[in-house]
Amino acid sequence: MRRVVIFIAAMLGVVLAADVYSALNTARIAYFNEKDYPRARKACLEGIDLAPDNCELYAILAGSEMGLGNWPSAAQAFDKAFTIDTSKTLNWIFKEPEGAKYYFQAFYFSARELFERVQYDSTLYYLGYAQVLEIEDVNVDILKGAALYKLERFNEANSEYMRVLELDPNNPDVNFLIGKSLFDSEEYEGCLGYFTKAIQNYKPQYERFGRIIFQNRLSIDSALAQEIVVLWAGKDTGRLDQLIKDSLGFAEGLAIQAASIEQFAKASDNLGRSHYFLAMAQCNLKNDTVALNNMLQSVKYRPDDYDALYFAGEWHVRMQKYAAAIPHLERLTNLCPDDQYAWFYLAVCYTEAEQYKRAADIYENKVLKLDPDNIDAMNNLAYVYREMGEHEKALHWFIRAEEAKKGP
């Protein structure tokens, strides 16, 4: 009886082995010869059900998932293959010309997705395969540095960035990231050079794509460039398409300029961010005039950035340049109608410009609606109404301010 059981088990093993080989053979043919990734994937999954420790099935499964654009699934399959047998998996990858470079994409693009999902430890884990596959790519170092930075491992992050700068000293992304790391560590003096270098190297990108977009004009029109950037960021393709036809002279519209505008908008955003942090660093170093100039540049390249608009307005007010503050504060309040501080500064500007009616309207119907206990707004209203000759209203708000000071 025992011999019969052993015989049956042996026969079952032979059948299973045959089924696994059939699945593996189908997967090889479908993947390598036919590029039929769905069929290869199906065969791999069938084979893995029978032989969960076959690293080649996982490797072909990973390649099939890549062919289907499923980066996380591809990375997971390769990771499993390496766990089963690192040596065999490496041999499988290196058999193909440029195999390491091609298959590492599974890990890199998965790492990028994980980074966007705030899974920084997993990002680093997948990027670790760059060393296994002997990949040298500055983009890997940049992403690794960014993940380390998010994990507050600042020294390790800067080491990654410095490695990139050794290979590519003018890389604007890395200069920005190092500058940001130093800024967040409150090393304001140290970050200035990195932000400046980032700006110097982002600017040619902006101008290169700007020349393509504005080739039918003598130069890049700053106001029109801002409108393009805003429409692109807002995904308002209809208005953008019409603008390209009417204002830039391209009859094909967005269809012919989309790629250039995408790069132009990206360069504009990068310039705006770099100028913003350079301005904030200079502000912390008490270089107010230079800081303001950079903040204005930030607004130029990122015209709808709330923070840049706010500081551009506030700093102008602090310097008593009220007329110059108004456009920034008006734009900000249009974008963010619940920003009571922006409304307050805008009312101050109108007060100083002796546009008392507009100032009173903002204090009463904006600031005090958002912040009913704002004593400064009440005092300012009393002053505005006094200047307008409306003494009863002035007295009313003066009394309200005094009552508010006493509290409930």
- What the chain holds in terms of domains, given with CATH numbers, is 1-109 (1.25.40.10), 170-304 (no CATH), 333-408 (1.25.40.10)
pLDDT tier for residue 144 given thresholds of 50, 70 and 90: very high
What's the pLDDT tens digit per position in 235-260?
Answer: 999 999 999 999 999 999 999 999 99
State residue 370 phi and psi, 5-degree precision: -80, -30
Residue found under tokens 């429409």: 231
Six token digits for residue 402:
């005094």
Q: Can you tell me the distance from the alpha carbon of 26 to that of 6, in angstroms, rounded to the nearest whole number? A: 30
- Measured in Å, how far apart are the chain's first and last C-alpha atoms? 96
Q: Can you tell me the distance from the alpha carbon of 125 to that of 110, in angstroms, rounded to the nearest whole number? A: 11
pLDDT tier for residue 399 given thresholds of 50, 70 and 90: very high
State residue 186 phi and psi, 5-degree precision: 65, 25
Q: Can you tell me the distance from the alpha carbon of 209 to that of 192, in angstroms, rounded to the nearest whole number? A: 26
7 vs 205, residue with greater confidence:
205
| Total length of the chain | 408
Residue found under tokens 């692109």: 232
Question: Residue 305 is which amino acid?
Answer: D
DSSP assignment of 157-169: HHHHHHHHHHH-T
pLDDT tier for residue 111 given thresholds of 50, 70 and 90: very high
Whole-angstrom Cα Rg for the chain: 31
Q: Can you tell me the distance from the alpha carbon of 285 to that of 303, in angstroms, rounded to the nearest whole number? A: 25
Note the pLDDT of residue 6.
44
The 3-class secondary structure across 259-285, one letter per residue, is: HHHHHHHHHHHHHHHHHHHHHHHHHHC
pLDDT for residue 159 is more than 60: yes
What's the pLDDT tens digit per position in 328-377?
Answer: 999 999 999 999 999 999 999 999 999 999 999 999 999 999 999 999 99
pLDDT for residue 1 is more than 80: no
What's the pLDDT tens digit per position in 306-316?
Answer: 999 999 999 99
pLDDT for residue 130 is more than 70: yes
Angle at 349 between CA 345 and CA 350, to 5 degrees: 120
Six token digits for residue 362:
């903002």
